[in-house]
């Protein structure tokens, strides 16, 4: 990512690597009574039965999850 | 050199904003003011819509507005014509409002003297979706001239909003606006979303939307009763 490289220039993080992990959007389907993975964020409905749902259980996160460091 | 070591951080990048937004929401609740934020692309008619909203609510309610833009005070000047208290937030190079900007803009305001506070975000359909401003209701505006598939192109902002307004309805025929297609796009990215189709210019459809707002305020106050 261009901005990451620029931000790291001349700091101890220079040369480090930024790994972005996308997580799928998971919703709860009240019809199937279970969590389902959305196929597209343009279609908020259960991929199995087609019931519309807005009960989002995962996919809105924006977290710094971990650092891998070497001393 | 030692072996690489993994340090788990698990920190929400937007935590700082969320903390302030939560404090704002509590402040709004305690003051008994209902807060509506407006998001849309540039040029969809947010300011005209807000000017009419302020003007028409004024006889019955105490209303005020914060308005965000990168530069100029033009919108605040336009909104001031409604005679409601208006304050401009100039973001400089930032493409969205953050909770801290709202907090600092409201510092001198007596919130308990208000019924409705409107926050007009910077015209942008991307970044504002990630920033909670402590609002009670997020309203996304889309004009008939923008194309019916806008919600599919910017699903996140529509998904993060509570109600949608289709604006500039007086131009619908001129641009062959396909109402069913627009409604289906919204329903697809935000199932069950309430949609108001209106023209701020002619006033058509405004009553239904203003009645909805009044009802929201009543509901909030009913919840607050001891």
Return phi, psi of residue B125, to 5°: -100, 10
Question: In this predicted structure, what is the pLDDT of residue A45?
Answer: 95
| Number of domains into which chain B is organized | 1
Count the residues in chain B. Answer: 226
Write phi, then psi, for B219 (nearest 5 degrees). Answer: -60, -45
Which of B9, B156, B190 lies closest to A64 in CB terms?
B9
Does residue B108 form part of some domain?
yes
The predicted-structure confidence for B91-145, as pLDDT tens digits, reads as follows 998 999 999 999 999 999 999 999 999 999 999 999 999 999 999 999 999 999 9
**Residue B66, in any domain of the structure:** yes
Domain hosting residue B22, numbered range:
15-224
B126, B160, B188, B192, best to mutate vs chain A, most A CBs in 10 Å: B188
Q: What is the DSSP letter of B71?
A: S
**CA-based nearest residue in chain B for residue A61:** B12
CB contact under 8 A, A70 and B5: yes
Closest chain A residue to the Cα of B3, Cα to Cα: A70
pLDDT at A46 (0 to 100): 96
Identify the pLDDT of residue B223: 84
What are the residue boundaries of the structural domains of chain A, listed by start?
Answer: 20-62
What is d(CA A42, CA A21) in angstroms, rounded to the nearest whole number?
A: 20
Check CB contact under 8 Å for B189 and A45.
Answer: no
CA separation for the pair A50, A37 (Å, rounded): 12
- Ordered DSSP codes for B45-92: SHHHHHHHHHHHHTTTS-EEEEEEESS-SHHHHHHHTTTS-EEEEE-T
B4, B10, B156: residue with CB nearest A69 = B4
Which CATH code is given to the segment(s) A20-62? 2.20.28
CA distance A47 to A30: 13
From chain B residues 96-155, the ones with a CB under 8 A of any chain A CB are 130, 152, 155
Residue B51 sits in a domain whose CATH number is 3.40.50.300
For residue B183, being part of any structural domain is answered with yes
- The residues with which B66 forms a beta bridge, in sequence order, are B87, B119
- A17 pLDDT band, cuts 50/70/90, is very high
């Amino acid at each position: 990512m261009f901005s990451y490289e620029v931000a790291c220039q001349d700091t101890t993080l220079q040369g480090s690597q930024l790994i972005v992990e996308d997580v799928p959007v998971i919703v709860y389907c009240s019809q199937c009574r279970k969590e389902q993975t959305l196929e597209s964020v343009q279609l908020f409905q259960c991929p199995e039965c087609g019931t519309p749902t807005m009960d989002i259980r995962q996919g809105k996160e924006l977290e710094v999850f971990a650092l891998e460091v070497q001393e | 050199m030692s072996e690489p070591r993994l340090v788990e951080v698990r920190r929400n990048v937007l935590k700082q904003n969320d903390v302030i937004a939560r404090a704002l929401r509590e402040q709004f609740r305690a003051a008994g003011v209902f807060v509506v934020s407006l998001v849309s692309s540039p040029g969809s008619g947010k300011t005209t819509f807000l000017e009419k909203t302020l003007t028409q609510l004024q006889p019955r309610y105490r209303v005020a507005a914060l308005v965000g833009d990168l530069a100029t005070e033009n919108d605040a000047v336009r909104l001031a014509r409604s005679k409601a208290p208006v304050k401009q937030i100039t973001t400089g190079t930032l493409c969205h409002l953050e909770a801290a900007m709202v907090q600092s803009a409201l510092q001198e305001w007596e919130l308990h003297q208000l019924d409705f506070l409107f926050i007009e975000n910077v015209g942008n359909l991307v970044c504002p979706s990630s920033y909670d401003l402590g609002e009670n209701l997020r309203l996304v505006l889309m004009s008939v001239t923008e194309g019916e598939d806008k919600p599919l192109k910017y699903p996140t902002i529509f998904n993060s909003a509570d109600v949608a307004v289709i604006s500039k309805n007086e131009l619908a025929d001129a641009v062959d606006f396909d109402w069913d297609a627009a409604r289906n796009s919204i329903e697809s990215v935000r199932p069950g979303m309430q949609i108001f189709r209106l023209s701020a210019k002619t006033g058509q459809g405004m009553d239904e939307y203003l009645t909805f707002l009044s009802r929201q305020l009543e509901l909030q106050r009913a919840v607050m009763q001891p």
